[in-house]
Amino acid sequence: MKEIFPKLYYKSKELFFEDVPLKDVAEREGTPTYVYSKGALQYWFEEFDSAFNEVSHTTCFAVKSNSNIQVLKVLRELGAGADTVSVGEIFRALTAGIDPKKIVFAGVGKREDELTYALERGILMVNVESEGELLLLNKVGEKLKRRAPFAIRVNPDVNPKTHPYISTGLKSAKFGVTFDRALELYKKAKELRWLNPVGVHFHIGSQITDVSAFREAAEKVAEFVKEIRSFGIEIEYFDAGGGLGINYHPDERVVPAKELAEEIVPIVKELDCHLILEPGRRIAGNAGVLLTRVLYVKKREEKTFYIVDAGMNDLSRLALYNAYHHILPLEEKKEETVVADVVGPICETGDILAKERELPVLKEGDLLAILSAGAYGFTMASNYNSRPRPPEVLIDGDKFRVIREREKLGDLISREEVL
Ligand SMILES: Cc1ncc(COP(=O)(O)O)c(C=O)c1O
Ligand SMILES: N[C@@H](CCCC[NH3+])C(=O)O
């Protein structure tokens, strides 16, 4: 047995997720298909959550990374809450049975109807990102005759050293407000009857593998909490956001969640706050793969193209961030390799799943797994080129089931005026 990631391994030359050969899934459900492993979700959730056991905390899974209801249910059963950024995500989290008191709601552009929905459902807190939003939240509270629990999202201005498109905690980013502004907002909120300050929030970015940035941010925010407490503003929840990175290559080091905990836990202990964490990618990323089939092998002079049936509409991270996703054949191949581009069927030159990658020699019909696709995979899939989105499958031990059906052609036009 050759382990690639927890629960993902080769046995007798076949790639397994838990006890299921992935070939069986591809043959029964077709390709492209997203496949998640319950065991891997549990593994990653527990690795993360248990690292913070020293303090009272809630791990609010970032629904944007994987919003499938059955995935959310698996995590709920382990005690997860939800970090949400839209009414749609709150709806999904509630549908999965997640306790509203474990739901936080972030986002720079919340509409009034979204704040109303959140407040009516009794979520834990709204993570407010601007003065305008704070005033609107007060208005919504007044309408509903409910004090709105909120945190201000502060922007601690630290560099998480990740991809610029997913750095959120720098002053230049649209997210949150500066400490000075946040102080003014908490003071202002004291005068507004329908607001209830319960927490402080920050989130510095995603796919972070240098945990020192978390400490830098947490220390700054802790100082800020002390400052606002001196004005009589009581803060119970210290929401440190998500962002812990994963290894996209099997040989890359996995940063243990414990290392993150070592940076944050002492700070939270001193403040005597309840810690909220919002990991997404860390829990779902390596708990999912995207299965695809080689449609054609095209050779042009020196270049080999493997044309597969998954494209940038199914997995957009590669085109968006030039991201690396490891690709493995479902049936282990001989040693012989070739340098090839793996490309999808979309009419865009950027529809590349792997660029100049050393891969085994493949033939038409071969099945592949694109790894680390459990987070920001299906949730960012689209119908571009009028392609129905792939199904989602959940493996549990030696069984698997479809937890979201493959879209049908009719789904593509079901909301349009036809004829
Ligand atoms: C506010 C907030 N919380 C949590 C997350 C989850 O991030 P990640 O999947 O990197 O843990 C994000 C996305 O970056 C976010 O914007
Ligand atoms: N979608 C991004 C992460 C964005 C994080 C959301 N705040 C990715 O795939 O890496």
**Average pLDDT in the 387-399 region?**
98
Instruction: Provide, rounded to the nearest whole percent, the portion of the chain with pLDDT above 70.
Output: 97
Domains of the chain, with CATH numbers? 2-37+285-413 (2.40.37.10), 106-279 (3.20.20.10)
Instruction: Provide, rounded to the nearest whole percent, the portion of the chain with pLDDT above 90.
Output: 92
Tell which atom from ligand 2 comes closest to the C-alpha of 206: 5
Tell which atom from ligand 1 comes closest to the C-alpha of 153: 1
Residue 156 has pLDDT above 80, yes or no: yes
CA 205 to centroid of ligand 1, rounded, Å: 7
Q: Among all residues, which ones are annotated catalytic?
A: 347
Place of tokens 């993902």: 8
Written as six digits, the tokens of 1 are: 């047995």
Question: Tens of pLDDT along 246-303?
Answer: 999 999 999 999 999 999 999 999 999 999 999 999 999 999 999 999 999 999 888 9
- Pocket mutation for ligand 2, best pick of 60, 83, 104, 281 (most atoms within 8 Å of C-beta): 281
Residue 302, pLDDT score? 84
Per-residue buried b or exposed e for 367-403, using 16+ beta carbons within 10 Å of the residue's own CB: bbbbbbbbbbbbbbbeeeeebebbbbbbbbeeebeeb
CA distance 150 to 139: 13
Residue 191, pLDDT score? 94
Bond before 32 cis per omega within 30 degrees: yes
CA distance 360 to 291: 16
- Pocket mutation for ligand 2, best pick of 317, 325, 372 (most atoms within 8 Å of C-beta): 317
ipTM at complex level: 0.98
Binding residues for pyridoxal 5'-phosphate: 243, 278-281, 376
CA 279 to centroid of ligand 1, rounded, Å: 6
- What is the β-pairing status of strands 103-105 and 81-84? parallel
CA distance 306 to 354: 10
Question: Tens of pLDDT along 132-142?
Answer: 999 999 999 99
CA 337 to centroid of ligand 1, rounded, Å: 37
Place of tokens 């080129």: 385
Task: Please report, as a single letter, which amino acid is at residue 334.
Answer: K
CA distance 8 to 272: 39
Residue 165 has pLDDT above 70, yes or no: no
